[in-house]
Amino acid sequence: MTRLQPINPETATGKTKELFNAVQGKLGAVPNMMRTMANSDAVLEGYLNLSGALSKGKISSRTGELIALAVSESNNCDYCLAAHTFIGEKLLKTDAAVLEAARAGESSDAKTQAILKLAKTLVSKGGLVNDEDVNAAKTAGVTDAEIAETVAHVALNVLTNYFNNTANTEVDFPAVAAL
C-alpha cells in the first residue's frame, strides 16, 4: 500500500499543474512516481531539472538507463527497475539481455562496463570511492566529464530509489522483480 498519496493531475493547481503539464507534454502521461513526488513541488522540480540537465550531458540516454538499472538493482527499487526496463526496451530499443546485465553492473562494452562498475561502487561505498576506483574508470577511457556525470546519474537514481521505496509508489509499468 502506498505511503504517500499521488496527486491527481486533473485536480492539480499552481506550480504542480505547471510541472504536470510539462511532463504530460513530454511523456504523454504523468507516471505515478512524479504524481507522488508532486506532494512537494520542490522535489518534483528538482528531479525534473537534474534529469533534464543530464539528458544533455556526455553520457548517452542508453548508458543513463543502464546506470539507472544498476543503481536500482543495488537499492532494490521495484518501481525504478520496472520504469527503466520499460524505457530501455520500448523507447531506447535496448536488448533485454543488455538491460539485465546492467542490473548486475555488467556490459560487453569496456567503457560502459567501467561506468557501471563505478556506479555500483559509488552505491556500495556510499560515495566514498578511492583513487583505484576512479583510475579504473579512467583506464577504460571514461573522461572526467563522464565520471562527474556518472556521480550525478547515481545521485539522481538514489533519489528516485529512496523516494519510491519510502513512498511505496504504485508501479505503473510492467513489473520487474529485483534479481
Helices (H), 55-103: 61-74, 78-86, 96-103
pLDDT in tens, 31-66: 999 999 999 999 999 999 999 999 999 999 999 999
pLDDT tens for residues 125-151? 999 999 999 999 999 999 999 999 999
The number of folded domains in the chain is 2
End-to-end CA distance of the chain: 22
Q: For the full predicted model, state whether its pTM sits above 0.85.
A: yes
Q: What is the mean pLDDT of residues 107-124?
A: 98
| CB environment 65-76: b (16+ within 10 A), e (fewer) | bbbbbbbbbbbe
For 70-89, the pLDDT digits (tens) are 999 999 999 999 999 999 99
Note down the domain range covering 34.
14-54
Domain presence at residue 3: no
**Residue 41 pLDDT:** 96
The last residue of one of the domains, among 6, 35, 54, is 54
